[in-house]
Chains A and B, each alone.
Chain A
Amino acid sequence: MVSITSARLGGILFLILCVAYGIYADDIHLDYWSEQEVFNARSMPYFIAVVGSFCAILLILVPAPKTDWSAVLNLNWLPACLLLVIMSGYGILLEPLGFVIATILLLITAFLVLGVRSFRAPLLVAATIAMAFWLLMDQLGIYLAPGAIPEQLFQYLGGAG
C-alpha cells in the first residue's frame, strides 16, 4: 500500500494549487494585441503552473522517508489554533475598538491562552505595552485611530457632561 508521506501530501496539495493557478491564469484579461505577443501577462503564470505541476507530480511519485504523523498530531494544537483566531480577531476589532483597547485584549487573551494563570500581571504587561507603543507612535507623528466605538462613547460622554 502506498503510504502518505509529508512529501506526497504536500505534492497532492501543490498539484491542486498549480492546476487551479493555471486555470485562473486563463482569466487574465488580454487585449487583442497582447494576445498576439510571444510573451504576455499570461505567459509567466502558464510557465509556473507547468513547472510547478511537474515538481508536484515528482513529489507524489518519488519515494520519500516515512512521516511520523503521531508526532504531528501530538503537538499543542489547541493553543496554537486559538492564537491564530485571536490574531484574526485583532484584525476585525482593531478599527471598531481602536488600537489601545484592541491591543490590550489581544495580549491578555494570548497570555491567558498560553497558560498565564493570574489576571493582574497580564493586564499590567498588556496595558504597559499598548500605551507605551501608542505614545511612541504619537511622538513619531504616526496617528493610530482611537476606534469608532470609543470615539462615539467619548462623544456621548462629552455631550452628556
Chain B
Amino acid sequence: MLDGLFIGLQTVLTLHNLILVFAGCATGTLIGMLPGLGPITAIALMIPITYGFDPSSGMILLAGVYYGAIFGGSTSSILINAPGVAGTVATAFDGYPIARNGQPGKALAIAAYSSFAGGTLAALLLAGTAPFLADLSLGFQSADYFALMLLGLTLVSAFSSQGEYLKALMMTCFGLMLSTVGTDLSAGVQRFTFGRMDLIDGISFLMLAMATFALSEAVMMVLQSTRAKEPTIRLHKTSLHLSLPELRAIIPTVSRSSVLGFFVGVLPGAGATIASFLAYGVERNLATSEDQKQFGQGSIKGLAAPEAANNAACTGSFVPLLTLGIPGSGTTAILLGALLAYGIQPGPRLFIDEPEIFWSVIVSMYFGNLMLLVLNLPLIPYIARLLLVPRQYLIPIIMFFSLMGVYLVSFNVFDIQMMVFIAICAVLLRLLQFPMAPLLLGFILGGMLEDNLRRALAVADGQFSFLWDRPTTVVLMSLVVIAILIPMTRALWPKSSR
C-alpha cells in the first residue's frame, strides 16, 4: 500500500497535476453551485477538455470536479436554500437556518471542514480497502462479472426513492436498449441503426450524459422558472471562523458520519443522498433532547453530519469503480465512461496494470479536499457571486457549452440534432418523474453485461449452468434475486409492507 501511495504522490505532486486538481475543484464548485446542476453535469461538461490529457491527469481533473461540485452544491444549499443535487438536500436543513441567522460564513466553514474531514477519512479507508478488494476480485470470471453487473443494475433501482422502484428499473432497461444501438462488435452486425451511418458506432455516452443531464437540466430550469425563489444571502465581510467548543462539538459527529458515509457510498446505488440523510438521522437520534430541538433550526451537528457523510460517500463510490469496474452511481458511471474513452478498462487489473491511475485518483482526492479547504473556502465570497448572474444569461451559456462539448468530439452536426432529441425525451421523462441515473448506468453497463454473458456462455458450452457452477456467482446471483424481490414486493404490495 505504501508503494502505491508513493506512486500516487509522485503522479499528483507535479505542478501540472496540482493545477488540474485546483482547476477541477474550482470549476466543480462553480458548476455545482448552480441550482439544478450537479456533479454529473459538471463532469459531463469537463470530459471533452480532458481528452487531450493523459488518463491520470484526466481522472485527477474529473475527481476534482466531482467533489468540487458536491461542495458547490452545499454552498447553494446554505446560501439560497436551493440544493444543487439530492446529496446536499440534508445540508440545507440546518445550513440555511444558520446562514439566515446572520452566520453564512460559519455555515460554509462547518461545511468545508466537515467535507474535508469526511473526504480525508474516506480517502484513507479507500486506500486501505481498495487494494484488498482488487486482489479479491482478481479471481473473478466472466460469470461472476455478469452477476456483479446485474447486481449493480438491480441495486441502483432498489435504492431509488420509495415508490420509484419500477420507474428506475424501467429506466435501466431503457439504458440497456440504447446500449445495443450500433455495431455488435462480436458478430459484426448492425443493430437498430435504421440504415444511418451516424449510428454505426452507437450512441456516444458523452452525448447521452450531456443530453440527459446538462441540456435537460437547462430546459427544466426554464420550465420551472416560475417557482418562488429564496432570497440569496450576501457574504460581504462574513467571518469564516469557528470557535474551539464548536469544533469540539462537531468532531465526533464528523468521525461517525464519515465512516457511515464511506460504507454507504461503497454500496452500488446508495450514494451521497442516502448517506447524508442517514447520517443526519443517526446524529439527531444520538443527540441529547436539548440538542435535538436545534436540528432543523440551525444545529451545527445537523450541518456537519450530512456534509461529512456525502463527501465520504463520494469517495466510497470509487471503491466498486476502481476495483471491480462497476459504477455504483450515475456520477461514477460517467467517470467509467471517461476511463473507457481514454482506453482504460477499470477493474481489478487496473490496480496491477495502471497503478499510477489507481493511486493518483486516491491521492488526488486527499489533495482535492485540502484545496477545497485552503483555497476554495476563502474564495467562496467571490465564487458565490455567480449565484447573482441572471438565469437568462446562464442557461443559454450552459446550453452552448453542452452542445460544443459533444460537437468538438465528433464534428458531426447530426450529434447536435440527436442531443436535442434525447434532451426532449429526458425532459418528458423527468416530468413523469422517471430517474435519469439508472438510464446512464444501464447504458454504460449494457455492453459489458452482454460481453460477459456471451463469454460465460461460451465457457459453459452454451449452458446456463454457469449461474450456479461457482460459489461467487451463486452468492452474487442470490443478492440479485434479493435486490429484485424485496423492492418488487414493496412496490406491488405497498400496504402490507408498512
Interface residues on A, range: 35 or more
B397 at the A interface (CB under 8 A): yes
Bitwise, A2-39 to B at CB < 8 A (1) or not (0) is: 00001101110010011001001100111000100111
Chain B nearest CB from A113 CB (Å) reads 8
Complex Cα distance, B225 from A40, in Å, reads 48
Task: Please tell me if the beta carbons of A133 and B180 are within 8 angstroms of each other in the complex.
Answer: no
Q: Does B234 contact A (CB under 8 A)?
A: no
| A79 CB to nearest B CB, Å | 5
Instruction: State how many angstroms separate the Cβ of A140 from the closest Cβ of chain B.
Output: 8
Across the interface, which residues of A come within 8 angstroms of B450, CB to CB?
44
Task: Judge whether B224 and A38 touch: CB under 8 Å.
Answer: no
Residues of B within 8 A of A114 (CB): 222, 391-392, 395-396
Say which residue of A17, A74, A76 sits within 8 Å of B222 (CB atoms): A76
Write the chain B residue with the least CB distance to A145: B411
Q: How far is the CB of B461 from chain A (nearest CB, A)?
A: 9
**CB distance B177 to A94 under 8 Å?**
no
Asked whether, in the complex, the Cβ of B407 is within 8 Å of the Cβ of A77, the reply is no
Partner of B223, one of A28, A30, A77: A77
Closest to B456 in A: A39
Query: Given A76-B223, A83-B222, A88-B417, are A10 and B167 neighbors across the interface (CB < 8 Å)?
Result: yes
Confirm or deny: B342 has a beta carbon within 8 angstroms of a beta carbon on chain A.
no
**Is the C-beta of A100 less than 8 angstroms from some C-beta in chain B?**
no
Q: Does A84 contact B (CB under 8 A)?
A: yes
Among A10, A39, A44, A62, point to the contact of B492 (Cβ < 8 A).
A62
**Which of B198-206, B247-255, B357-365, B423-431 touches A?**
B423-431
Q: Is the CB of A7 within 8 A of B413?
A: no
A114 and B226 CA atoms in complex are apart in Å by 12
Contact B174 A91 (CB under 8 A): no
Known pairs A6-B433, A64-B163, A84-B420; A44 contacts B453 (CB<8 A): yes
Q: Which of A7, A79, A91, A110 interacts with B416 by CB under 8 Å?
A: A91
| Chain A residues, CB < 8 A from B190 | 28-29
With the chains together, A88 CA to B418 CA distance in Å? 9
A94 touches B407 (CB 8 A): yes
Do residues B396 and A110 form an inter-chain contact, with CB atoms below 8 A? yes
Q: Are B400 and A41 in contact (CB under 8 A)?
A: no
B392 A65 Cβ-Cβ under 8 A: no
A94 touches B416 (CB 8 A): yes
| A133, B392: Cα distance in complex, Å | 20
Which residues of chain B in 382-429 are interfacial with respect to chain A, using CB atoms and an 8 Å cutoff? 390-393, 395-397, 399-400, 403-404, 407-408, 413-414, 416-417, 419-420, 423-424, 427, 429
With contacts A10-B434, A39-B457, A62-B491 taken as known, whether A80 is within 8 angstroms of B223 at the C-beta atoms is yes
> For residue A141, which residue of chain B has the nearest CB?
B52
The CA of A62 and the CA of B495, in the complex, are separated in Å by 12
How many residues on chain B are close to A (CB under 8 Å)?
64
Check A106/B170 contact, CB under 8 A, given A39-B462, A84-B420, A91-B416: no
A98 within 8 A of B: no
A77 to B491, CA, bound (A): 32
Chain A residues closer than 8 Å to B191, beta-carbon distance: 25, 28, 41, 45
A142: CB under 8 A from chain B?
yes
A58/B492 in contact, CB under 8 A:
yes
CB-based contact A55/B189 at 8 Å: no
Contact status B224-A76, CB under 8 Å? yes
Residue B176, interface by CB 8 Å? yes
Cα of A7 to Cα of B435 in the assembled complex, Å: 12
Contact for B189 among A21, A28, A129, CB less than 8 A: A28
Closest CB in chain A relative to B447 CB, distance in Å: 10
Residue of B nearest to A6 (CB): B432
A84 to B211 CA separation, bound complex (whole angstroms): 12
Q: Please measure, in the bound complex, the distance between the C-alpha atom of A136 and the C-alpha atom of B88, giving whole angstroms.
A: 34
User: Once bound together, how far apart are the Cα atoms of A58 and B420, in whole Å?
Assistant: 30
Q: Please tell me if the beta carbons of B180 and A44 are within 8 angstroms of each other in the complex.
A: yes
Residues in B neighbouring A40, C-beta threshold 8 A: 187
Give every chain A residue within 8 A of B224 (Cβ-Cβ). 75-76
The residues of B that contact A137 with a CB separation of less than 8 Å are: 408
- CB pair B167–A87 under 8 Å, yes or no, is no
| Chain A residues near B474 (CB-CB < 8 A) | none
> Smallest Cβ distance from A76 to chain B, in angstroms?
5
Would you call B344 an interface residue if the criterion is a C-beta within 8 Å of the partner chain's C-beta atoms? Answer: no
A87 engages B223 (CB within 8 Å): no
Contact of B174 among A14, A37, A79 (CB under 8 A): A14
Minimum CB–CB distance for B436 against chain A, Å = 13
Point out the residues of chain A lying under 8 angstroms from B100, CB to CB: none
Query: 14 extra interchain contacts, Cβ-Cβ under 8 A, other than A17-B174, A91-B416, A95-B413?
Result: A14-B170, A14-B174, A18-B177, A28-B191, A37-B462, A41-B187, A55-B173, A65-B163, A83-B396, A87-B215, A87-B416, A88-B420, A111-B392, A115-B392
- Of all A-B residue pairs in the complex, the 10 with the closest CB atoms, nearest first, are A91-B416, A110-B396, A38-B462, A52-B173, A114-B392, A6-B432, A41-B184, A75-B223, A41-B187, A80-B222
8 A-B contacts, Cβ less than 8 Å apart? A10-B434, A58-B166, A80-B222, A83-B219, A94-B407, A110-B395, A111-B393, A129-B397
